[in-house]
Structure 1
């Protein structure tokens, strides 16, 4: 991983256009080809990014940029689309690289891990006609628990929790924002699945067009005897 702290401006050019004016930021270049731009605030969410696979080229600034003080231009080109991330560097304060080695991945809480496995095996619980694409679908900001397709062939991203709260909805919202940038997946809708979903989280999810799904863990494990229930 390469970490560069620099005074820079950033332009995202493609299906969407976005501009970050001149400021000091952290530029993170990962081994998978992703490039993320962070500020010193706003929690852990990057201000902008390019998802892998992508190619980074360092270019000399043109005459106009050089006169404005630009010393280097990073052109980050997506391998899947015509989208580009253009980073104009005016001053570099730090540039370090570290080999992080192979990451073992996120080890989930036992119940959450079981829920993910069981739902992948019982994908019909999302609705008739759903099929599994894969578990732990990796994105530049973390793995989506389950990626599936519905009966119409549209992509569905599922975030799983034991207890669903607002933070989980926010997490899924970030995944959806990123996944919908990929033309091979878009449009992607979200399902927030949990054993219990707090009322505030349900309201927020439904306001954002995210479906809420309550999971019966015992029934999914096959240990719930419905015939013995009183109600």
Structure 2
């Protein structure tokens, strides 16, 4: 990535026209070829930009100043940046980005509940994570304090589809003489009223999971309210 802090004028021409008068801005040239012009405000959104595929050529304007011409690859759109004064110019190799990993996704909830099975019920113990059935894996297979099998389906947001999914797992698992009887627990950070109604009608227990409490960040017993 190249970062240029400069006093510049920016003109965009093509499907629309736009003009940014001379001012100090940040120009970003990314490895994918995109060029973005940022101000010191406006949050994350650039003032103007050119998305890849595009080509960047550095030249000299008639008055001797540096001029960048960014040409779109598939249209006639052009971004011209007239540089009056360079305050900073640097290049950085950021490498391959691993991508965004969202905190609190179902995999993390599964890992935490596998470690803290008593959150699902007193005396609950883990038998296996990702217990495979003929139509896919159940998130957790547990045993309750009476030794009975419990299938646990985990969602961030509990909706009817999740209840239907657990229902299908239970139907198959209860055909296995080594497991049956198997009851179900539908665990989520939030459970929609319709999903709760359907689950309870089918004999499935609903458990609302406090993600922060599981991570040890927030202890409900220490709250004033």
Q: Report the TM-score range of the alignment, normalised by the length of the smaller protein.
A: 0.5 to 0.7
Q: CA deviation at 1:229?
A: 3.5
Task: State whether residues 160 and 195 of structure 2, in contact with CA within 8 Å, keep that contact through their aligned partners in structure 1.
Answer: yes
Equivalent position of 1:71 in the other structure: none
> Counterparts of 1:207 and 1:197 in 2: how far apart (Å)?
15
Equivalent position of 2:174 in the other structure: 180
> Counterparts of 2:106 and 2:193 in 1: how far apart (Å)?
20
Q: Which digits, 9 at most, give the CA deviation of each residue in 1:10-39, with x for residues without a partner?
A: xxxxxxxxxxxxxxxxxxxxxxxxxxxxxx
Distance 1:117 1:182, change over 3 A: same
- Pair 1:207-2:209 in alignment: no
> Counterparts of 2:217 and 2:103 in 1: how far apart (Å)?
20
- Pair 1:141-2:142 in alignment: no
Q: Which digits, 9 at most, give the CA deviation of each residue in 1:84-119, with x for residues without a partner?
A: xxxxxxxxxxxxxxxxxxxxxxxx996211110010
Structure 2 runs not aligned, ≥5 long:
1-101
Query: Secondary structure, in 3 states, of the residue corresponding to 2:114?
Result: helix
Query: Secondary structure, in 3 states, of the residue corresponding to 1:158?
Result: strand
Task: State whether residues 138 and 152 of structure 2, in contact with CA within 8 Å, keep that contact through their aligned partners in structure 1.
Answer: yes
Q: How many residues align?
A: 124
Q: Which digits, 9 at most, give the CA deviation of each residue in 1:172-227, with x for residues without a partner?
A: 00000000010000000000000000000000000000000000000000111547
Equivalent of 1:120 in 110, 114, 118: 114
Equivalent position of 1:164 in the other structure: 158
> Counterparts of 1:202 and 1:181 in 2: how far apart (Å)?
25
Q: CA deviation at 1:130?
A: 1.2
Q: Which digits, 9 at most, give the CA deviation of each residue in 1:21-70, with x for residues without a partner?
A: xxxxxxxxxxxxxxxxxxxxxxxxxxxxxxxxxxxxxxxxxxxxxxxxxx
**Aligned residues: CA RMSD:** 1.7
> Counterparts of 2:129 and 2:104 in 1: how far apart (Å)?
16
Structure 1 runs not aligned, ≥5 long:
1-107
Q: CA deviation at 1:131?
A: 1.1
> Counterparts of 1:110 and 1:138 in 2: how far apart (Å)?
23
